[in-house]
A and B are shown apart, each in its own frame.
Chain A
Amino acid sequence: MADPNSPPPSADGSGLDPTALKRRVEAARAQRARRDSPPEPTNASTLALRMGGEFGAAVLVGAGLGFGADHWLQTSPFGLVIGLGLGFITGVVNIVRASSAYSKTHPVDPNAPSVPDDASD
């Protein structure tokens, strides 16, 4: 009677097709992420100052550390140049971290309608 290859009867129900289930799982996950870390309330200017601050701080600290290394090791321009470059990289890393934390606490609504990739075609 029972065909082992046939899917379990509940999977035939329209409410449990894989895409809908996936959507529900994602919504539940997003809800949990929201509960785990308290959302940082933000308006646009706060967010802008934050991202700018993260980047600028890293560049300044990188350059400062490089300058300090120059002072100790008497390698005058190179420490500053390398430090500035490393600071720049660190700034980008900081921004990526901050923005991924932001999108974790402010997830896109999983039930939102999809947006077409390109408006022109």
Chain B
Amino acid sequence: MANDPMHQFQIERLVSFDVNGVDASFSNASLMMVAGAGLATLFLTRAMAPKALVPGRMQVVAEGAYNFIHSMVRDVSGVEGVKKFFPFVFTLFIFIFMSNMLGMFPLFFTPTSQIVVAATLALIVFFTVIIVGFAKNGLKFLRIFVPSGVPLAILPFVAVIEIISFFSRPVSHSVRLWANIFAGHVLLKVFAGFVPMMAAAGFVGVLGSILPFGMTVALYALEFLVAFLQAYVFALLTCIYVNDALHPGHH
């Protein structure tokens, strides 16, 4: 029971709500998301409070995160992308990063290991791209389905493929975040579960349990990398998709 690697993904209602038959309870996942958003806000406001010309340690971290995402948005979607979408991308990044990092604490819940959370974030990006694309370019936005230089004869076929490709974006966008975090946490729990199992088998087992324990420590380090990497990849993909909304037909 204690070794069940799936136990960590159990959703528990903390405060029960019921809105017209829809279960809208405040769960442990909601708590962790609120904590992640709150911690990010608290950290950034506290760190930037001195507004020092020569930054202190906290301010260097906050400015570093800002500059990192700022240069990424500028590189991928240009100056216009920075003007319109930098706050959006930065919010997504810092929220996912904080959620992932909070999930690294033992006994804490990881909201991004639920596909609902990842899919909601990806769908926000998806609909933002559609709405901004049509609002800014009108019907010219449909040009993203028509790559340039394609012979007229196979154009309908290519357009259908482009449409399916466009609709598959939120799926792969969310699955990449979710699957990485989910798989990592299961793997961690499985290896950690080997330790008490082996240790229960006598003296040789106790000696042997050093191996899975060492593996757990190594995986923990890897998971910290994955937690950052997946937040970064999510933000990077958001930039790429948003760039399509600003400049359709620039494949």
A89 at interface, CB cutoff 8 A = yes
Alpha-carbon separation in the docked complex, A13 to B35 (Å): 66
Q: In the complex, what residues of B have CB within 8 A of residue A57's CB?
A: 168-169, 171-172, 175
Cβ 8 A contact of B167, one of A61, A89, A91: A61
Q: Mark A7-48, 1 if CB is under 8 A from B, else 0.
A: 000000000000000000000000000001110110101100
Q: In the complex, what residues of B have CB within 8 A of residue A81's CB?
A: none
Q: In the complex, what residues of A have CB within 8 A of residue B160's CB?
A: 86
Decide: A41 and B229 in contact? CB cutoff 8 A: yes
A contacts with B, residue count (CB < 8 A): 26
A77 at interface, CB cutoff 8 A = no
Decide: A60 and B168 in contact? CB cutoff 8 A: yes
Instruction: State which residues 138-184 of B face A: CB under 8 Å.
Output: 160-161, 164-165, 167-169, 171-172, 175-176, 179-180, 183
Instruction: State which residues 110-138 of B face A: CB under 8 Å.
Output: none
Residue from A65, A89, A90, A91 whose CB has the most chain B CB atoms within 10 Å: A90
Cβ 8 A contact of A40, one of B167, B169, B175, B236: B236
Alpha-carbon separation in the docked complex, A102 to B160 (Å): 25
Decide: B164 and A86 in contact? CB cutoff 8 A: yes
From residue A36, how far is it (CB to closest CB) to chain B in Å? 7
Q: Mark A40-80, 1 if CB is under 8 A from B, else 0.
A: 11010110011001101110111001000000000000000
From residue A56, how far is it (CB to closest CB) to chain B in Å? 8
Q: In the complex, what residues of A have CB within 8 A of residue B167's CB?
A: 61, 65
B198 at interface, CB cutoff 8 A = no
Decide: B226 and A89 in contact? CB cutoff 8 A: no
Decide: A50 and B176 in contact? CB cutoff 8 A: yes
B76 at interface, CB cutoff 8 A = yes
Decide: A36 and B165 in contact? CB cutoff 8 A: no
Decide: B165 and A93 in contact? CB cutoff 8 A: yes
B233 at interface, CB cutoff 8 A = yes
Alpha-carbon separation in the docked complex, A54 to B183 (Å): 17
Decide: A90 and B229 in contact? CB cutoff 8 A: no
Decide: A61 and B226 in contact? CB cutoff 8 A: no
Decide: A90 and B168 in contact? CB cutoff 8 A: yes
Residue of B with least CB distance to A66? B164
Alpha-carbon separation in the docked complex, A41 to B227 (Å): 13
Residue from A36, A40, A61, A94 whose CB has the most chain B CB atoms within 10 Å: A61
Cβ 8 A contact of A49, one of B71, B76, B164, B176: B176
21 contacts between A and B (CB under 8 A): A38-B76, A38-B236, A41-B229, A41-B232, A46-B180, A49-B179, A53-B175, A53-B176, A54-B168, A57-B172, A58-B164, A58-B165, A58-B168, A58-B172, A61-B164, A61-B168, A62-B164, A86-B164, A87-B164, A89-B161, A94-B165
In the complex, besides A45-B183, A61-B167, A61-B168, 15 extra interface pairs with C-beta distance below 8 angstroms are A37-B76, A38-B72, A38-B236, A43-B225, A46-B180, A46-B229, A49-B183, A53-B172, A57-B172, A57-B175, A58-B165, A58-B168, A60-B168, A65-B164, A94-B168
